[in-house]
Amino acid sequence: MSSDTISVLIAEDEAVTRLGMKFALKTFPDVELVAESADGVSAILQALVTKPSIILMDIGLPKVDGITAARKVKEALPKTKVIVFTGAEDVDLMDSAFKAGVDGYCLKKMSGEDLYSAIKLVNAGEKYIARELRSTSKEPERTPSKREALAGELLKEQMASGSQNTIIGERYQVEKVLGRGGMGIVYKGRHIFMNRPVAIKILHPELAADAAVVARFRHEASTLSQFNHPNLISVFDFGVTKLGEPFMVMDFCQGKSLENLISIRGKLKAKDCIPLFLQACEALKMVHQAGILHRDLKPGNLILSDEGHLKVVDFGLCKSFDGMERLVKLTCTGEVVGSPSYMSPEQCMGKSLDERSDIYSLGISMYETLTGELPFQADSYYEILNMHIRGTAPREPLLMACVPPVMEEIVYKCIDKDPYARYQTADELSQALVKASIYLEQKV
């Protein structure tokens, strides 16, 4: 960890909230999660061991509440900053927190950008108050600093910057960043000697230090390299950078993502949507039979050629599961995998996964493709994850988009909260889509 990195400890007793915060922290370029706790006593002990720059402390912790824990930490570690957060807009509670010595006060519903601003400002020695409470706070008003004004731009600049002209594996030249995920970064590159465009996925450094993660990453590269399927990207090389970071090399897929297509057209009609998701099902059939889950299915990972041919990409985030039990045994590496807007309820809760989790993500993608909007939308990861677990996808957008009832039925079966109520395999979903296509053609 470099001297400029802000180390963070999360103290939160609700697993979904912790996961949401971990998602947010993964997107911040100079922030690193060093520990997490589920109660006040553990938070104090973890703080004494790790000495983090920042503690994100829930007020309502069990055993010892967050305000008391914050006071104890500040007494022992005066240089450690504490940001408390809560779901209640309680001014008196906020005043009690500041009297205990905390440095920031946030609401759980805050956006990722606001959380990043809070961390940066508090780390720089300033106080932070949730914007909803600033007008009622007894704390003196302050003029926004130049640091605060530039915080959002700094994040965008750092996240957008690539590593152009870097040579990887002595034969691949990096050209630009294609995307970033919880486990790694994908670059567009070119084979120096063959002038062949490629996509290169590199593991994040902190994960590259975990032998189990590296072994799994290598195994997945080997497994994916054996696939020869029109709806899958070919993986053809694996290596390790000079910095010790494993990478896999794939064919670069020319075309637009389904996400791009939705942004251009707004939404797709059922007759145009069905052929695309039939192709996605064909890809999933093959990888699921090989014991691999994708875990990050979304329109951005479905690439379309000009002829309408679809490829499922970004299997570098996938997870192997046992072919006999057909269940994923999640490791405790702490990595965050998936995109919150498309994650299944069981994925949000950190439970064991099987292919039905991918079916759920594909169903959310179908909903978005047919309506032009996501079923669950909120300002914070925490709220989105809770919606997947407890919320009901609204039917109004499907009605407004004139989605045929037969397609609506398929979508809702895919995104049922109960995995046993969904289509059990990609083949089952494929058969349902074929029947829907035939039915819609006969109605014309």
Q: Hey, what are 70's tokens?
A: 């914050």
Instruction: Using pLDDT thresholds of 50, 70 and 90, give the confidence band for residue 365.
Output: very high
Which pLDDT tens digit goes with each residue over 102-125?
Answer: 999 988 777 777 888 889 999 999
List the domains of the chain with CATH numbers: 6-133 (3.40.50.2300), 151-251 (3.30.200.20), 257-442 (1.10.510.10)
Strand, coil or helix: what is 200? strand
What percent of the chain shows pLDDT beyond 90?
A: 46
CA–CA separation, 148 and 122 (whole Å): 10
Q: In 139-151, which positions are buried (b, 16+ CB within 10 angstroms) versus exposed (e)? A: eeeeeeeeebeeb
Instruction: Using pLDDT thresholds of 50, 70 and 90, give the confidence band for residue 182.
Output: low
Largest alpha-carbon pair distance within the chain?
74
Q: How far is CA 341 from CA 34, 71, 171, 208, 415, in A?
A: 25, 36, 37, 27, 12
Question: For the residues 376-395, what does the mean pLDDT come to?
Answer: 89
Q: What is the pLDDT of residue 165?
A: 57
User: Residue 204, Cβ neighbours under 10 Å: how many?
Assistant: 17
Which pLDDT tens digit goes with each residue over 255-270?
Answer: 899 999 999 999 999 9
Q: What is the pLDDT of residue 318?
A: 56
CA–CA separation, 293 and 335 (whole Å): 16
> Comparing 341 with 24, which gets the higher pLDDT?
341
CA–CA separation, 92 and 355 (whole Å): 48
The yes-or-no verdict on residue 94 having pLDDT over 80 is yes
The yes-or-no verdict on residue 404 having pLDDT over 70 is yes
Contact 88, 113 (CB under 8 A): no
CA torsion 287-296-403-379 (nearest 10°) is 170
210 in catalytic set: no
User: Residue 120, Cβ neighbours under 10 Å: how many?
Assistant: 23
pLDDT winner (highest mean) among 112-126, 138-152, 382-396: 382-396
CA–CA separation, 294 and 344 (whole Å): 12
Which pLDDT tens digit goes with each residue over 36-77?
Answer: 888 898 899 889 889 999 999 999 898 889 999 999 999 989
Question: For the residues 395-421, what does the mean pLDDT come to?
Answer: 97
What percent of the chain shows pLDDT beyond 70?
A: 85
The yes-or-no verdict on residue 379 having pLDDT over 90 is no
> Comparing 95 with 361, which gets the higher pLDDT?
361
Q: What mean pLDDT is reported for the chain? A: 83
Q: Which of 13, 296, 314, 358 is catalytic?
A: 296
The yes-or-no verdict on residue 13 having pLDDT over 90 is no
The yes-or-no verdict on residue 338 having pLDDT over 70 is no
The mean-pLDDT minimum among 59-63, 152-156, 219-223, 400-404 falls in 152-156
CA–CA separation, 196 and 411 (whole Å): 39
CA–CA separation, 436 and 428 (whole Å): 13
The yes-or-no verdict on residue 161 having pLDDT over 90 is no
User: Residue 400, Cβ neighbours under 10 Å: how many?
Assistant: 12
DSSP state of 145: P
Residue 271, annotated as binding a ligand: no
Contact 418, 270 (CB under 8 A): no
The yes-or-no verdict on residue 16 having pLDDT over 80 is no
DSSP H or E segment with residue 83: strand 81-86
CA–CA separation, 186 and 182 (whole Å): 11
> Comparing 140 with 167, which gets the higher pLDDT?
167
The mean-pLDDT minimum among 167-176, 199-208, 428-437 falls in 199-208
The yes-or-no verdict on residue 136 having pLDDT over 60 is no
Which residue type occupies 328? V
DSSP state of 134: T
Question: For the residues 386-401, what does the mean pLDDT come to?
Answer: 95
CA–CA separation, 342 and 173 (whole Å): 32
The yes-or-no verdict on residue 330 having pLDDT over 50 is no
Question: For the residues 154-175, what does the mean pLDDT come to?
Answer: 62
User: Residue 295, Cβ neighbours under 10 Å: how many?
Assistant: 24
DSSP state of 400: H
Instruction: Using pLDDT thresholds of 50, 70 and 90, give the confidence band for residue 327.
Output: very low
CA–CA separation, 246 and 370 (whole Å): 38
Q: Hey, what are 183's tokens?
A: 């486990």
